[in-house]
Amino acid sequence: MNDPIINKVAESGLITIDPEKYYPKGETSVFDLKDFLFLGMILKEKDYRESLKTYDWEKHRDKNVAVTCSADAIIPVWAWMLAASYLQPVAREIVMGDEKELHKAIFIKNLSQINLDEFNDKKIVIKGCGDTPIGDFVYLELAKLLRPVAKSIMYGEPCSTVPVFKKK
């Protein structure tokens, strides 16, 4: 009865990836083109250009910015580009869409920075529980990124996993 306690999880060679590690950081802000519309529905080029010149861009400094138009208006392509040209020198990230789309785009960008060589032919567990709510899209992206290099991919905790992929 004096058998040593063996940590089978530690000896299994499993590598755990915690999606929270890639969670977007930093403040967010919204740049809404509706504020520049004439009568709430028309974008006048001359007025828009003048308004952008006097706009306080510093409120977006070092923030992740969602560029959107919350009004039901037709926005010409150049208007989005013009907004981006003003935001680019001050913002950390710029995404066309609402705050939810901004969050998703930054999360995916963070995941794309993973060095896949570290996971070549390894058994991987993608952690499923945590303090921060993680969108389902994150797990799909991780599976998509890791499948070409991993020996196996599982979901959950090392002591209780659901198999997702196993190289044959």
Residues in contact with 60: Cβ distance below 8 Å, sequence separation at least 6, in sequence order = 29, 31, 87, 90, 91
Q: How far apart are CA 74 and CA 155, in angstroms?
A: 43
Domain ranges of the chain: 8-24+105-166, 28-91
Angle at 162 (CA atoms; ends 104, 138), nearest 5 degrees: 5
Give the model confidence (pLDDT) of 18-48 as tens digits.
999 999 999 999 999 999 999 888 999 999 9
- Please state the pTM of the whole predicted model: 0.83
Give residue 131's pLDDT band: very low, low, confident or very high (50, 70, 90). confident
Quick check: 157 pLDDT over 80?
Answer: yes
Nearest partner of 19 among 141, 121, 123, 103, judged by Cα? 141
* The two three-digit tokens of residue 58, written as one number: 């510093």
